Amino acid sequence: NQALFQPYDLGPITLANHIVMAPLTRNRAGAGLVPGELAATYYAQRATAGLLITEATQISPQAQGYQDTPGIYTQDQIDGWRKVTNAVHAKGGRIFIQLWHVGRISHVDLQPGGTAPVAPSAIRAETKTFVNNGFADVSAPRALELQEINGIIEDFRKASANAIAAGFDGVEIHGANGYLLEQFLKDGANQRTDEYGGSVENRARLLLEVTAAVIDEIGAERTGVRISPVSPANAISCSDPQPQYDYLAEQLDTLGIVYLHVVEGATGGPRDVAPFDYDSLRRRFKNTYIGNNGYDLPLATAQLAQGKADLFAFGRQFISNPDLVERLKTGAPLAPLNPETLYGGGAAGYTDYPSLTETSQ
Ligand SMILES: C=C(C(=O)O)c1ccccc1
């Protein structure tokens, strides 16, 4: 049925349909970590999505963990993103930017002054990142001092103001996939003994303080949060996720954010990686719930009909199908993506995937 392709009100904005383009790192930022010159074309090609969410974008130099990912903390970066939002809005699209701090998933070669990456605790993740055109083990992090925490909250606040100045319809706070804010949420990475660790409330504190600061700056109706309760992405673990995320969902509901974006299962992997009750989040968080990870048309249609989610985020399928909405709507075949051109490079594997109308010419 066509329920997925009906308009949807997301706070003050109306989306053309229930299909969201999930955040996708492409490592194609230019000098000064401004969006690449093809970024406006890439996002505009996909503007038929009800909502676009940009690739993860760092809030400060310390927040960078991979080569050539864009920032939103300098005027040049704001100006670069303005080209993207103008191009998307010219196509009638809507776009949020994902605000990112990688925490311990970084390398000294990317860190200001070649210093150690920061984290809730000095626990290195058993994973790699991409620097100097190659994969390298992430560097051992240092634990953030208590007096550094406010600076990070202010970096998120300033980045959200910059996002609105760049023309975005809103921001998504990246609280998922083993990055800084999730490092605080999950006890595998957070073994602090101050008010930011040691209990469900304390581990959620930083994400909630960041969210409150962003809401204070740009408003709750333009603020979303992404979480990944049971994902092992970037070598993170959580011994008891259900109470941790039930509490978080209640608190985010109280703060009034416009949406909660949930990676269901392992990011880019199996949905049933671990038992978790997503309906429990849905009952506690009353505003818009975006379901993500491994969706296809039948599953999204069924989940919508059962009221388990409001919007559905597709990642990889949007890479190779700029007109994914049209293809889902008409049952047209989906083009496969080329994994060789996912990260880094130029137009190949980025802006050169044709839409159906182009291929038929
Ligand atoms: C920002 C990412 C995430 O959220 O997983 C990411 C980073 C590098 C490669 C793929 C994805």
pLDDT in tens, 144-174: 999 999 999 999 999 999 999 999 999 999 9
Who has greater pLDDT, 360 or 252? 252
190 alpha carbon – ligand 1 mean position (Å): 20
Strand segments, DSSP code E, in 181-292 are 223-227, 259-263, 288-292
**Nearest ligand 1 atom, CA 24:** 11
Q: What span, in angstroms and rounded, lies between the C-alpha atoms of 176 and 5?
A: 27
Outline where DSSP puts E strands in the chain.
8-10, 13-15, 19-21, 51-58, 95-100, 118-119, 128-131, 134-137, 142-143, 170-175, 223-227, 259-263, 288-292, 311-314
Pocket probe for ligand 1: among 24, 25, 107, 129, the residue whose CB has the most ligand atoms within 8 Å is 25
CA of 84 to the centre of ligand 1 (A): 20
For residues 246 and 240, give the distance between their C-alpha atoms in angstroms, rounded to a whole number: 11
Q: How far away, in angstroms, is 93 Cα from ligand 1 center?
A: 23
Give nearest CA residue, ligand 1 atom 10: 25
Give the phi and the psi of residue 119 in degrees, each rounded to 5: -160, 170
> What is the crossing angle of helices 200-218 and 241-255, to 10°?
30
Residues enclosing ligand 1, CB less than 6 A? 25, 56, 66, 177, 233, 267
Taking alpha carbons only, the member of 151, 149, 255 closest to residue 202 is: 149
Predicted ipTM of the assembly: 0.99
Question: What pLDDT does 358 receive?
Answer: 87
Q: What percent of the chain has pLDDT over 90?
A: 98
Q: Which of these is catalytic: 8, 42, 66, 179? A: 179
Say whether 179 is catalytic: yes
Q: Which secondary-structure segment (H or E) carries 280?
A: helix 278-284
For residue 135, the tally of other CB atoms under 10 A from its CB is 10
In whole angstroms, give the CA distance from residue 57 to residue 55. Answer: 6
Residue 341, pLDDT above cutoff 70: yes
299: three-class secondary structure by DSSP: helix
- Angstrom distance (rounded) from CA 334 to CA 59: 34
Taking CA atoms only, the protein residue closest to ligand 1 atom 6 is 25
* Residues 257-277 pLDDT 10s: 999 999 999 999 999 999 999
184 by DSSP, 3-state: which?
A: helix
Q: Give nearest CA residue, ligand 1 atom 8.
A: 25
- Interior CA angle at 118 toward 136 and 194, to 5°? 145
- Amino acid symbol at 170: G
| Residue 285 to residue 169: CA distance in whole angstroms | 22
272 vs 16: CA distance, rounded Å: 31
The separation between CA 39 and the C-alpha centre of its own chain, rounded to angstroms, equals 17
The DSSP letter of residue 139 is: P
Question: pLDDT-derived band of residue 361, with 50, 70 and 90 as boundaries?
Answer: low
Please state whether the predicted TM-score (pTM) of the whole model is above 0.95. yes
Minimum-distance ligand 1 atom for the alpha carbon of 130: 8
Residue with tokens 């429990």, as numbered in its chain = 280
User: Which residue's C-alpha comes closest to atom 2 of ligand 1?
Assistant: 25
Rounded to the nearest angstrom, the distance between the alpha carbon of 285 and the centre of ligand 1 is: 25
Give yes or no for residue 94 having a pLDDT over 60. Answer: yes
Residue bearing the CA closest to ligand 1, atom 1: 56
Q: Distance from the CA of 24 to the center of ligand 1, in angstroms?
A: 7
Q: Ligand 1 mean position to 55 CA, how many Å? A: 8
Q: pLDDT tens digits for 190-217?
A: 999 999 999 999 999 999 999 999 999 9
